[in-house]
């Protein structure tokens, strides 16, 4: 005899209204959450430090604009912001996913060690500064000094890039579909080989984009500044 059981239904999302609750209270609830829980943050009002330090496999949806350092120190789970984000979005992200449906200000995903940051709109200056393994996909343009001292990870730009892209870059990979205003010290254009096309296509698909990888150019380190040389003294 076969016993049929009804399929489990997902628990309803917990709603937190920041017009009535504090940011401290929100973050405390997220830190106490367990895997599989979902949260909806209403009326965020551009408040700072929303959904920081998440270390459980939970889903958080912010219904509006977020201020500085949203989803900072993100370790796992998913944070979706249905609006814009201020300075330092997903700063020092370790894993998981952070998705902004609008624009992001300066220093998005700065020092990120892992995970995926998707920005559907534009990103400001210093996007991916000192990135250490994070993947960043920007649907629009990025500002100047992006990927400065980027050590590892991939930065994908589906629009244009500002001045000094990849200045003092190490081994991170940059893919740009549009134009680059200028390249920073030791950053050069590199060939797009089969492995890079495959890698980029995978990143675009994961980020929910339909761009053609063949339309992008790749940039990376010329490796001239790895060791001090008096001939390069003006570039340091």
Q: Considering the chain, what percentage of its residues have pLDDT values greater than 90?
A: 89
CATH number of 14-225: 2.160.20.60
Average pLDDT, the chain: 93
- Within the chain, residue ranges assigned H as helices are 23-32, 194-206
For residue 138, give both structure tokens.
């920007």
CA distances from 197 to 24, 141, 142, 143, 204 (A): 43, 21, 21, 24, 11
- Confidence band (pLDDT; 50, 70, 90) for 228? low
Single pTM value for the model: 0.92
Q: Answer whether residue 27 shows pLDDT above 90.
A: yes
- For residue range 111-159, list pLDDT tens digits in order: 999 999 999 999 999 999 999 999 999 999 999 999 999 999 999 999 9
Q: Who's near 1: CB < 8 A, 6+ residues apart?
A: none
- Confidence band (pLDDT; 50, 70, 90) for 70? very high
């Amino acid at each position: 005899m076969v016993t049929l059981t009804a399929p489990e239904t997902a628990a309803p999302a917990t709603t937190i209204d920041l017009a009535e609750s504090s940011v401290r209270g929100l973050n405390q609830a997220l830190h106490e959450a367990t895997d599989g829980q979902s949260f909806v943050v209403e009326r965020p009002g551009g408040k700072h430090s929303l959904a920081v330090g998440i270390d459980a496999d939970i889903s958080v949806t912010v219904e509006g604009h977020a201020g500085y350092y949203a989803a900072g120190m993100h370790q796992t789970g998913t944070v979706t912001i249905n609006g814009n984000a201020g300075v330092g979005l997903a700063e020092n992200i370790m894993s998981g996913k952070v998705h902004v449906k609008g624009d992001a200000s300066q220093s998005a995903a700065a020092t990120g060690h892992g995970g995926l940051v998707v920005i559907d709109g534009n990103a400001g200056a210093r996007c991916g500064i000192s990135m250490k393994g994070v993947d960043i996909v920007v649907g629009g343009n990025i500002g100047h000094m992006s990927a400065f001292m980027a050590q590892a990870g991939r930065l994908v730009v589906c629009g244009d890039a500002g001045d000094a892209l990849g200045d003092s870059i190490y081994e991170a990979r940059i893919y740009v579909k549009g134009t680059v205003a200028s390249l920073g010290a030791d950053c050069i254009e590199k060939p797009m080989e089969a492995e890079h096309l495959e890698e980029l296509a995978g990143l675009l698909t994961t980020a929910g984009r339909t761009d053609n990888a063949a339309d992008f150019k790749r940039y990376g380190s010329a490796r001239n500044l790895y060791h001090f040389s008096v001939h390069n003294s003006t570039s340091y």
